[in-house]
Amino acid sequence: MLSVQQVGKTYGPFHALRDVTFSAQGGEVFGLLGPNGAGKTTLLRILATLLRPDSGQAQVAGFDITRDPEAIRARIGIVNGGMGLPARLTGREVLQSFARLYGLTRAQTDARITELDDRLELGRTLDTRAGEYSTGMKQKVVIARAVIHDPPVLILDEAASGLDIFARRTLLDFVQASRAPGRLTVYSTHVMSEVEEVCDRVAILHGGALITLGTLNGILDATGERTLERAFFALVRGQPTGGAHV
Ligand SMILES: Nc1ncnc2c1ncn2[C@@H]1O[C@H](COP(=O)(O)OP(=O)(O)OP(=O)(O)O)[C@@H](O)[C@H]1O
């Protein structure tokens, strides 16, 4: 479902990603964990075909990021922190316009909106203009918009950032419930407790390099630590704190 081979990316002299290799399967919620500047957003932008790597290769949903970017874009949904909504449209109108772009019929769109209303507790966001949304209302509609076409791969980049405990709970429950054969959710965050709660496996990025990959229990066993946070510190001890320079 997702395969990344020796991907590297530099910004000028700065190595944002260095030789990153891993794969993730359908049925998983795959965590990408790392502190600010670790390279998570750069990696996700490469997987979403929004940015080209300088080296290496990757395949998403069976297609190559360089050769078949259009096919990948049709099969992924992506949520990141900077996404806006048109202030004058209601949530329903936002979802309907995206559904049209993806070629859903009116009946399919209505059924999908009903399903997402149930799963994401969209409630009054559907008939309220986006300009009047709280942060939580906005993020729910952004997530619903990302999955309106029921993509096999969902990429969430710091999706819980800024959410209160109610909206965060809805998001984490949604991610849990999205786990299904043939479906992959990539959940990127710097918040260890979110990874502990929802992810089946986790890749830890630090300074642009993948420093470990495994199940939560596997990482705890390998480091002899009790929490992911303690394991993280044990793993990065002695490593440079920023992206390594060329
Ligand atoms: N367009 C750019 N030009 C120069 N440097 C960049 C650019 N984009 C990212 N970087 C640098 O690359 C490194 C990795 O950034 P990236 O946003 O991928 O990290 P991240 O793990 O997503 O961190 P955060 O959680 O802070 O967003 C950072 O040091 C960042 O400053």
User: pLDDT value at position 16?
Assistant: 96
Rounded CA-CA distance 41/36 in Å is 10
Ligand 1 centroid to 243 CA: how many Å?
9
- CB-CB contact of 181 with 27 (8 Å): yes
User: pLDDT value at position 50?
Assistant: 94
Ligand 1 centroid to 46 CA: how many Å?
13
Any domain includes 118: no
Which domain covers residue 47, as residue numbers?
Answer: 2-81+151-236
Q: Render pLDDT for 47-73 as a digit per residue (tens, 0 to 9).
A: 999 999 999 999 999 999 999 999 999
Ligand 1 centroid to 11 CA: how many Å?
9
Rounded CA-CA distance 246/234 in Å is 25
Any domain includes 121: no
Residue 42's contacts (CB-CB under 8 Å, 6 or more residues apart) are 9, 16, 17, 51
Q: Render pLDDT for 199-244 as a digit per residue (tens, 0 to 9).
A: 999 999 999 999 999 999 999 999 999 999 999 999 988 565 544 4
Ligand 1 centroid to 193 CA: how many Å?
22
User: pLDDT value at position 243?
Assistant: 46
Any domain includes 195: yes
- CB-CB contact of 120 with 176 (8 Å): no
Average pLDDT, the chain: 93
Pocket of ligand 1 (CB under 6 A): 11, 14, 16, 34, 36-42, 190, 243
User: What predicted TM-score, i.e. pTM, was given to this entire model?
Assistant: 0.92
Which residue of 7, 42, 79, 188 sits with most ligand 1 atoms within 8 Å of its CB, as the best mutation to test the pocket?
Answer: 42
Any domain includes 16: yes
Reported confidence tier of residue 162, pLDDT bands at 50, 70, 90: confident
Any domain includes 11: yes
Q: ipTM score here?
A: 0.93
Q: Which residues pair with 172 in a beta bridge?
A: none
Residue 192's H or E segment, with its range, is helix 192-198
Q: Render pLDDT for 106-121 as a digit per residue (tens, 0 to 9).
A: 999 999 999 999 999 9
Domain count, the chain: 1
Nearest CA to ligand 1 atom 11: 16
Looking up residue 6, the CATH number of its domain turns out to be 3.40.50.300
Ligand 1 centroid to 158 CA: how many Å?
13
Nearest CA to ligand 1 atom 29: 37
Using DSSP bridges, classify how beta strands 63-64 and 184-189 pair: parallel, antiparallel or unpaired.
unpaired
Average pLDDT in the 158-171 region?
91
Which residue of 9, 17, 18, 40 sits with most ligand 1 atoms within 8 Å of its CB, as the best mutation to test the pocket?
Answer: 40
Lowest mean pLDDT among 8-12, 79-83, 178-182: 79-83
